[in-house]
Amino acid sequence: MTKVKKHTWRSKLHEIIYEADTPLGKIFDVVLLILILLSVILVMLESVKSIDLEYHKVLYIGEWIITVFFTLEYILRIITVKKPFRYIFSFYGIIDFISTIPLYLSYIFLGTSYLLTVRAFRLLRIFRILKITRYVGEANKLKTALKHSRPKILIFLFTVLIIAIIAGTLMYLIEGEESGFTSIPRSIYWAIVTLTTVGYGDIAPAGPLGQFIAAILMIMGYGIIAVPTGIVSAEYAMDKEDTVHTNTQVCSNCNEKAHDDKAKYCHSCSEVLNYLDL
Amino acid sequence: MTKVKKHTWRSKLHEIIYEADTPLGKIFDVVLLILILLSVILVMLESVKSIDLEYHKVLYIGEWIITVFFTLEYILRIITVKKPFRYIFSFYGIIDFISTIPLYLSYIFLGTSYLLTVRAFRLLRIFRILKITRYVGEANKLKTALKHSRPKILIFLFTVLIIAIIAGTLMYLIEGEESGFTSIPRSIYWAIVTLTTVGYGDIAPAGPLGQFIAAILMIMGYGIIAVPTGIVSAEYAMDKEDTVHTNTQVCSNCNEKAHDDKAKYCHSCSEVLNYLDL
Amino acid sequence: MTKVKKHTWRSKLHEIIYEADTPLGKIFDVVLLILILLSVILVMLESVKSIDLEYHKVLYIGEWIITVFFTLEYILRIITVKKPFRYIFSFYGIIDFISTIPLYLSYIFLGTSYLLTVRAFRLLRIFRILKITRYVGEANKLKTALKHSRPKILIFLFTVLIIAIIAGTLMYLIEGEESGFTSIPRSIYWAIVTLTTVGYGDIAPAGPLGQFIAAILMIMGYGIIAVPTGIVSAEYAMDKEDTVHTNTQVCSNCNEKAHDDKAKYCHSCSEVLNYLDL
Amino acid sequence: MTKVKKHTWRSKLHEIIYEADTPLGKIFDVVLLILILLSVILVMLESVKSIDLEYHKVLYIGEWIITVFFTLEYILRIITVKKPFRYIFSFYGIIDFISTIPLYLSYIFLGTSYLLTVRAFRLLRIFRILKITRYVGEANKLKTALKHSRPKILIFLFTVLIIAIIAGTLMYLIEGEESGFTSIPRSIYWAIVTLTTVGYGDIAPAGPLGQFIAAILMIMGYGIIAVPTGIVSAEYAMDKEDTVHTNTQVCSNCNEKAHDDKAKYCHSCSEVLNYLDL
C-alpha cells in the first residue's frame, strides 16, 4: 500500500499519457492526435514552394510550438515509466524520438553547408504520422494475420522477384537500349512495373517479340495477384471469431499491453494497473 | 375507415409515385427511369462542343421538358407524403431537389458574368443519375456489407494513406524536382497512383534509388489489394443466407421501407399500407 | 428399327460432326481445331503489312482452302441435324455462318469502292475463334456461376458507372480542357481508366484539386475491385461440389446436350443417341 | 552392411550436398545460397555500363571464382548420385548445367564475331536464381494448388485470350493506324495491356468509339480478375489442413523426395537414407 502512495503523481501521469480510460487521458490523446495531423500538414505545406514563400514565418512558428509539445511529451513518457530504457528502445519510443529531434538537429546543422542533410532531417518529421498508429487498436488483428501468413507472403514475394529477374534479363537481351532497357536492373524495374499491373509506360517494349513476352508477363501478373488475396481471405476466414481487446491498460512497470478488461494487476509483472481507481 | 376515404386521391398518388405494385406505379417508374437516363445523356452531349454547336436548340428544349417533369414530380412527392419535411431532408429528397433546381438557377444567374457558376450549376444535373439508385433494391445488401466492415475498411484506408505519405516524402527527398516530384503533396499523389497500381506515368522516378523504392511500393500495393478483397469475401460468405425484400411498399405516413410482403399496416407507425387494395 | 436404318449415313455423320465419342469424331474435331487456329493466325498475319506484301498469295490461297472446308462443315451440320432451323439460329449456328460468309461477301463487294466494308467483312473471320469454345466443356461451370451472380454483377457495374459519371463530370468542371478533359464523355472515359486501375496517362489531372479527386477515385477503384472478387469467391465456394458432364452426346433430333453418361435415348425427345453402337 | 561400408565417402558427400540435416550440409547450403545471390548480382552489375567500365576486372574474376565453384558442385552432384542420368535430366540438373556452362561457352565463342550469341550465353547465368528454389520447401504447396486448379486456369487464360483477340481486331478496324493500332497482333497486345489493367499508354484509343470499346474492355478486365482470385481462394480453403514435409532427406539411389520424417529407407527403392546415423 505504501508502495502505491509513494509515486502517486507519476502513476497519475502514466495513466493520462499511456491510457485513455480517464477524461484527462482522453483529452491528452485528442490533443496529441490533432498535433500530429497539424505537424504532418505543416511538413507538406512547407514543401510547396508558393505556400512556403508566403507563409514561411507562420509555418516556422507552428513547427516550433509542436516540437516543444512533443519534447515535453517525450520527457514525460520517460519519467512516468518505471523502466525508461524499455520504452526508449521500443517501436513507439524510437518513433517519438525521431518525431522530436529533427528541428533541433536542423538548428544545429543550419550554419553548415550540408543543406540536403538539414532538409532530410526536417522531412524526418513526417514519421510522426506513425505516432497515430498507437490509437488504432484493430490494426493488431491485421498484424497477427500478416504474422501468421508470413511464410506464404515470403514465397509470394520470392516468386514475384524471380519472375521479374528472369523476365527483365530476357527483355534486356531482346529489346536493347532504344526502348529504354539500358541495363538489367532497369529492365527488372520495368518487369516489376508490368507484373504488378502498374504500367507507367516510361519504359515499354517496341518490338513484336518484346511485346509478346510483355503480354505473357502481364497475364502472369494478372493471375498471380490472386495468391496474396487467397492467403488473406483464408486468414480472415480463420480469424473471424477472434476478439479485440478494447481497454487501453498499459502496465507502468513493464509496458505490457492487452490486459484482461477486469485485470487489476499486470499479468506479466504483478504491478498494480489502475492507480486512479484505488 | 373515414380516415382512409378522406385522402383517397393523395394516397392513390402516393402509391403511384412511391411504389411499383400497381400498373400505374410501374408506368410512372419506367417513364421516370427513361427521363433520368435521357437527362444524363443530354448533359453529356451538351459538353461535347461539336454536338452543342449543331443541336444547341434541341438540347435546350429537351432539357426544359425534363426539368418541368422533374419539378412536377418533386411537388407531387411533397404533397402526397404526410410528413413532407422528412422527405425533403432525406437522401432522395435532396437528390430530387438538386435534380430540379439547376436549370432555374442557371436562368437566374444568366445575366450575370459568373459564367463558371452557371456552368457548375448546370452540371449539377448529372446527380440525377443518383435518382436511379431508388430502383436498385439489392444495393441495400452491399450497403450493409460495407457498414459491417467499416472499421476494417477505415484501417485499410488509413494504412494506405500512411504508406503513401511516407513513400511520397521519401521520393520527394530522393528524386527531386526534375522527375516531377516538385512538392510532398504531389509526391503523395504519385505514391497513391503507384500503390493503387493505376500508374499514369505523368510522374515517374528516373534515378536507380527512386526506382528501387518505387518497385517496393508497387509490390506492397500489389499485395495490399488482397486486404479489401479478403474483407469483402468474408463479409459475403457471412451474408449469404440473408434475404432481400422484394416488395416496394413505402408507408405514406413515415416513409418507412422494408415492410413484410404480407404486411397491411406500417410496422413503424401502424398507418394503412395498401389503399388501392381496400 | 426401320426408322434407325433409314437415315444411317445421316446419323453417322451427326455422330462424327457433333460428338467426339468415336475415333472419326475425334479426328474431325482435331482437324477443325487446327483449321480454326490456322484461320485466326492467317487473319492476324494478313494485317501485318510487311508480311502481307511478301506472302499475300500464300495467305489468300490458305484462306480459300479454310473457307471451303468451313462451308462444307456448315452444310453438313445443317443436313445431319433433324431440325436445321434450331441449329441455324443457335449461338454456334450463327458463329458458324459468320465464320463462313466473309470471304464470299468480300468477293462480291470487291468490285465496289466500299473498301472499308470489305475490310470489315474480312475481319469478321476472327470470330471463328469462338468456334473453339465448343470444345471447352468446363466453361459451362463459369457460365452458370456468372448466371447465378448476375444481379450482383449488374449492381457492381451500375455502381462503377455512377461513380465514373459523377467523377468524370466533376473533373470536367475542375480540370478544364488544358489537361485533356475536353468533354464529359471523355472525362468519364478517364474516370473509367482510373477507377479500373488501368491508368494510360493519355489524360491526367494537372491541378492539385484534380489530383486530389483523382487520388480518391483511385483508392475507391482499388477497394471496389474487392466486390467482384468476393462475389466469385462465394460462388466458387458454393459450386465446388458440382460435377461436369464429360460425354459429348448431342441429340440429332433436338440438339439437347448434357445427357447422362449411360443414356441411350435423348432425355428431352426420346431420340436414339448412339447409332454407331447399334 | 557391407554394401553401406563400400561407398561411405560417396554417401557422406551425398548427405552434405543433397541434404541439410548435418552441420556440414547446412554450411554447404548457406555457402551455395550466398554464391547464387552474388552471381546474380554480378550479372546485373555487369549490364550497367558505368559500373562495368570501372570494375570490369573485379566482376570478371568474381565470375570465374563462382563458375569454378559451380563446376565442382555439378561434378560432385553427378558423382555422389547412384543414377547420374536421372539427376542430369531432372529440372535442377538442367538448371545446374545452365548455371555452369555460360562462361565456358562465352570463352569458346569469344574469338568469333557472334557477339550477341556470347552476350546471350553470359546472360543465361541469371537462371542460377532458379537454383534457390531448391531451398524453398513450401513452394510445393503452391505448386500442387496450381496443379489442382489447372483446368480452371486454362479456361481463364483461354477466355482472356479470346476477349483480347476479338477486342484487338475490333480496335484495329475502328481506330486505324494513327493511334498506334497498326496491325492485329499489335492491337491484341494493346488489348492485353488494357484487360490486365497494366495500361502503359504507349498505344491508346483516340476516337470516341474506340474509347467506348476500351472502357468496356477495362471494366471486363477489372471484373475478370475476380476469377483467378476465386479459384485460388477456394483452393487455399481446401488445402488448409495439408501438412508440409520439413525434412530434407533425398534418396541417394533414385532422388526420391518427401520421405516421412522417421523414414530410414527410401519408400520408393528401399535404399538406406541416413548413412551418417549408422
Report the C-alpha gap between C202 and B243 in whole angstroms.
44
CA distance A2 to chain B (A): 43
Report the C-alpha gap between B272 and B251 in whole angstroms.
8
Report the C-alpha gap between C253 and C239 in whole angstroms.
31
**Closest to A163 in 3D by CA, of D66, D142, D45:** D142
**Closest to C78 in 3D by CA, of C63, C68, C93:** C93
pLDDT computed for residue A111 by the predictor: 58
Chain D residues whose C-beta is within 8 A of a chain C C-beta are 151-152, 155, 158-159, 162, 165-166, 169, 172-173, 182-185, 188, 194, 197-201, 204, 208, 211-212, 214-215, 218-219, 221-223, 225-227, 229-231, 233-234, 237-238
Q: Is A68 helix (H, G, I), strand (E, B) or coil?
A: helix
Are C199 and C193 in contact by the 8 Å Cβ rule? The answer is yes
Give chain D positions within 8 Å (CB) of A185.
44, 47-48
CA distance A162 to chain D (A): 7
φ, ψ of residue D265 to 5 degrees: the values are -125, 150
Q: What is the pLDDT along chain D (278 residues), one digit of tens a residue?
A: 444 455 578 888 888 887 777 888 888 888 888 888 888 898 899 888 899 899 989 988 998 898 899 899 899 989 888 888 888 998 888 888 888 888 787 777 765 555 556 667 677 778 777 777 776 655 566 677 677 777 777 888 888 998 999 999 999 988 877 888 999 999 999 999 999 999 998 899 988 999 999 999 999 998 888 777 777 776 666 554 444 444 566 666 666 665 555 555 665 666 666 555 44
ipTM metric = 0.79
pLDDT computed for residue C249 by the predictor: 62
User: Which residue of D135, D152, D232, D241 is the best one to mutate when testing the A interface, meaning the one whose CB has the most A CBs within 10 A?
Assistant: D232
Rg (Cα) of chain A, in Å, rounded? 25
Are B234 and B248 in contact by the 8 Å Cβ rule? The answer is no
Are A242 and A227 in contact by the 8 Å Cβ rule? The answer is no
Are C269 and C254 in contact by the 8 Å Cβ rule? The answer is yes
Locate all alpha helices (DSSP H) within D81-90, ordered by sequence: 84-88
Report the C-alpha gap between D271 and D48 in whole angstroms.
49
Which whole number is the average pLDDT over C215-231? 85
Interface partners of C (3+ CB pairs, < 8 Å)?
A, B, D
Name residue A275's amino acid: Y
φ, ψ of residue A265 to 5 degrees: the values are -125, 145
The three grid cell numbers given for residue C253, joined into one nine-digit string: 433430333
Q: Name residues whose C-beta falls within 8 Å of residue D10's C-beta, 6 or more positions apart in sequence.
A: D79, D80, D252
**Closest to A66 in 3D by CA, of A43, A50, A89:** A43
**How many CB atoms sit inside 10 A of residue D80's CB?**
21
> Contact D215/C193, CB-based, under 8 Å?
yes
Report the C-alpha gap between A164 and B216 in whole angstroms.
13
**How many CB atoms sit inside 10 A of residue D161's CB?**
18
Locate all alpha helices (DSSP H) within chain B, ordered by sequence: 2-6, 8-18, 23-47, 49-80, 84-88, 91-108, 115-123, 139-148, 150-175, 184-195, 208-224, 226-239
Chain B residues whose C-beta is within 8 A of a chain A C-beta are 151-152, 155, 158-159, 162, 165-166, 169, 172-173, 182-185, 188, 194, 197-201, 204, 208, 211-212, 214-215, 218-219, 221-223, 225-227, 229-231, 233-234, 237-238
Report the C-alpha gap between B141 and B243 in whole angstroms.
9
Could you give the domains of chain D? 9-135 (1.20.120.350), 141-242 (1.10.287.70)
Give chain B positions within 8 Å (CB) of D201.
200-201
User: Which residues does residue A265 pair with via DSSP β-bridges, in sequence order?
Assistant: A272
Q: Name residues whose C-beta falls within 8 Å of residue A6's C-beta, 6 or more positions apart in sequence.
A: none
Region of B258 (left: φ > 0; alpha: ψ -120 to 50; beta: rest) is: left
pLDDT computed for residue D209 by the predictor: 92
pLDDT computed for residue B245 by the predictor: 44
**How many CB atoms sit inside 10 A of residue C196's CB?**
26
The three grid cell numbers given for residue D132, joined into one nine-digit string: 534457390
Give chain B positions within 8 Å (CB) of D197.
197
Sign of the Cα torsion C31, C36, C41, C47 reads positive
The three grid cell numbers given for residue A264, joined into one nine-digit string: 487489476
Chain D residues whose C-beta is within 8 A of a chain B C-beta are 197-201, 229, 233
pLDDT computed for residue A194 by the predictor: 94
Which of D199, D201, D229 lies nearest to residue B229, judging by beta carbons?
A: D229
Report the C-alpha gap between D262 and A104 in whole angstroms.
62
Q: What is the DSSP string of chain C?
A: -HHHHHTHHHHHHHHHHH--SSHHHHHHHHHHHHHHHHHHHHHHHHHSHHHHHHHHHHHHHHHHHHHHHHHHHHHHHHHHSSSHHHHHTSHHHHHHHHHHHHHHHHHHGGGSS-HHHHHHHHHGGGGGGGGGGGG-TTHHHHHHHHHHTHHHHHHHHHHHHHHHHHHHHHHHHHH-TTTT--SHHHHHHHHHHHHTT---SSS---SHHHHHHHHHHHHHHHHHTHHHHHHHHHHHHHHTT----------TTT------TT--B-TTT--B--GGG-
A114 versus B199: the higher-pLDDT residue is: B199
Q: Name residues whose C-beta falls within 8 Å of residue A223's C-beta, 6 or more positions apart in sequence.
A: D153, D156, D157, D228
Q: Is A137 helix (H, G, I), strand (E, B) or coil?
A: coil
Q: How many residues does chain D have?
A: 278
> Contact D222/C123, CB-based, under 8 Å?
no
Q: What is the DSSP string of D125-154?
A: GGGGGGGGGGG-TTHHHHHHHHHHTHHHHH
Torsion angle of C-alpha atoms B14, B18, B20, B21, degrees rounded to 10: -40
Give the single-character DSSP code of D83.
Answer: S
| pTM recorded for the entire structure | 0.81
User: Which residues does residue B117 pair with via DSSP β-bridges, in sequence order?
Assistant: none
Give chain B positions within 8 Å (CB) of A47.
172, 183-185
- State how far the alpha carbon of B40 is from the alpha carbons of B36, B125, B134, C30, C159, in Å: 6, 7, 16, 51, 15
Mean pLDDT over each residue of chain C, to the nearest integer: 78
Interface partners of D (3+ CB pairs, < 8 Å)?
A, B, C
Are A26 and A60 in contact by the 8 Å Cβ rule? The answer is no
> Contact B40/C165, CB-based, under 8 Å?
yes
**How many CB atoms sit inside 10 A of residue C85's CB?**
10
Q: Name residues whose C-beta falls within 8 Å of residue B178's C-beta, 6 or more positions apart in sequence.
A: B206
Give the single-character DSSP code of A272.
Answer: B
Of the pLDDT bands very low, low, confident and very high (cuts 50, 70, 90), residue B242 is: very low
Report the C-alpha gap between D28 and D273 in whole angstroms.
19
User: Which residues does residue C272 pair with via DSSP β-bridges, in sequence order?
Assistant: C265
pLDDT computed for residue C2 by the predictor: 43
Q: What is the pLDDT of residues B157-188, one digit of tens each?
A: 888 998 999 999 999 988 877 888 999 999 99
Q: What is the pLDDT of residues B76-128, one digit of tens each?
A: 989 888 888 888 998 888 888 888 888 787 777 765 555 556 667 677 778 77
Q: What is the pLDDT along chain A (278 residues), one digit of tens a residue?
A: 444 455 578 888 888 887 777 888 888 888 888 888 888 898 899 888 899 899 989 988 998 898 899 899 899 989 888 888 888 998 888 888 888 888 787 777 665 555 556 666 677 778 777 777 776 655 566 677 677 777 777 888 888 998 999 999 999 988 877 888 999 999 999 999 999 999 998 899 988 999 999 999 999 998 888 777 777 776 666 554 444 444 566 666 666 665 555 556 665 666 666 555 44
